[in-house]
Amino acid sequence: MRGREENVKQKKKIMPEFKDIYKEYFDLIQNKLFEIAENTKPNSMKEPFVYLIENGGKRLRPILTMLSAGAVNGNPLEAINSGVSLEIMHNFTLVHDDIMDSSPLRRGKETVHTKWDNSVAILLGDLMLGIALQLLMQDAKHQNFINLQEVFNDSLVVVCKGQALDVEYNIKQDINVDDYLDMISKKTGNLIKASVLMGCYIGNANDKEIKLLEEFSYSLGLAFQIQDDYLDLTSDDTGKIIGQDIVEGKKTFMIIRSKELAESKEDKELINKFYQNNGLQRDEIQNMLNLITKLGVLDEAKDKFESYYQNAYDSINKLKQNEYTTMIKELVKLTKNRKF
C-alpha cells in the first residue's frame, strides 16, 4: 500500500514538472518560429508564413529534438535551432501536401493555397525550405554538424519519396498494409526519426543510445500516423470534417484492411466504389464508417497504434534513465491521449 502511495506522489510530482517544461520549450520554439516568420520579406511571403505559424501545431518534433538531446546528457537548449529547422521543413511539406490533396482546411482553418492561391503556397514552401537550411547553419560550429546536415538532407529526400508514394497510392488499386506502413514511415515516421537523431547528435550520443532512440522514433512515427487516421474517423476535434480522408480517397490502414476483410456483396461494392472513384461523397462517409466498424477494423487500428506506442515506451526504457527520458515518456503519453 505504501509503495502505491509513493507511486502516486511520484506521478503528481512528474506531471506538473513535465507540463511546465513542455510549455517552456513550446514557448521557446513558438517565439523562434514567429521571429523568423515576422522577419520574412517580402510581405507577400511574410503574411502567409505568419498565418501558418499562428494556425498552431503541437511542435512535437522540435520538442522531441530537445528532449532527446537531454536524454543522452546533452543540453536541450542547444538543440533549438536544429529542432526548429526540422519543424519549418515539416510545415513546408504540409503546405505542398495540402495543394496536392486539394485540402481546404488544416486544423480548422483555410489552407494557405485556399486562403491565397497555389502560386503563393508553392513559393512559400520553397522559401521555408531555404530558411530551414539557413537556420540549420547556425549549428555549423557543432562537432557533429556534418551528421546534422546528413540527417536533414536525408529526411528531406525520404519525405519527398514518401509523398510521391502517397500520390502514387491514390491511383493504385492493390495497396497492402506493408505498402501503407512503408509510406507512412517515410513521411510521418521519417521526420520524427530525424528530430530524435538531431537531438542525439547535439547531445553527443553513443551508438547504443542512437540505436535505441531510432527504434523509439520508428514506433512513435507509425503509432502517430495510424492514430491520426483513426482520429479522422472518430474525433470532431481534428480541425477538419470527420471522414475527410474518405472524401480525399486516402488509402489508410482502415480502408486497406476493410478491403481485405469485406465479404458481402454490399460491402465489396462500397469498397470498390471508394477505390474506383478515389474517394466517396460526404453523404457516404457514414456508410464507410459503419462498414469499418462492423468489420472490426476500427478496433484493430486502435490496437495497432497502441502496440506501436508500447514499443516506443519499451525502447525508451532501455536507455539509462534521467529526467529527460521520463519527460519523453510523458510526451508519448500526451500524444497517445490526444483527441486531434
Q: What is the pLDDT of residues 131-163, one digit of tens each?
A: 999 999 999 999 999 999 999 999 999 999 999
- pLDDT at res. 32: 98
**Exposed, middle or buried by CB within 10 Å (0-12, 13-18, 19+), for 52?**
buried
| Residues in a beta bridge with 110 | 105
Task: Provide the residue ranges of all domains of the chain, joining segments of one domain with +.
Answer: 10-336
- pLDDT at res. 340: 77
Rounded to whole angstroms, the Cα distance separating 22 from 253 reads 31
- pLDDT at res. 237: 62
Extract the residue ranges of the chain whose pLDDT is less than 70. 1-16, 237-240
Rounded to whole angstroms, the Cα distance separating 300 from 302 reads 5
**pLDDT, tens digit (0-9, with 9 covering 90-100), for 270-287:** 999 999 999 999 999 999
Rounded to whole angstroms, the Cα distance separating 274 from 76 reads 46
Rounded to whole angstroms, the Cα distance separating 31 from 25 reads 10
Average pLDDT score, the chain: 92
Q: How far is CA 74 from the centre of its chain?
A: 24
Given the candidates 2.60.40.10, 1.10.600.10, 3.90.230.10, 3.40.50.300, the CATH classification of the domain at 10-336 is 1.10.600.10
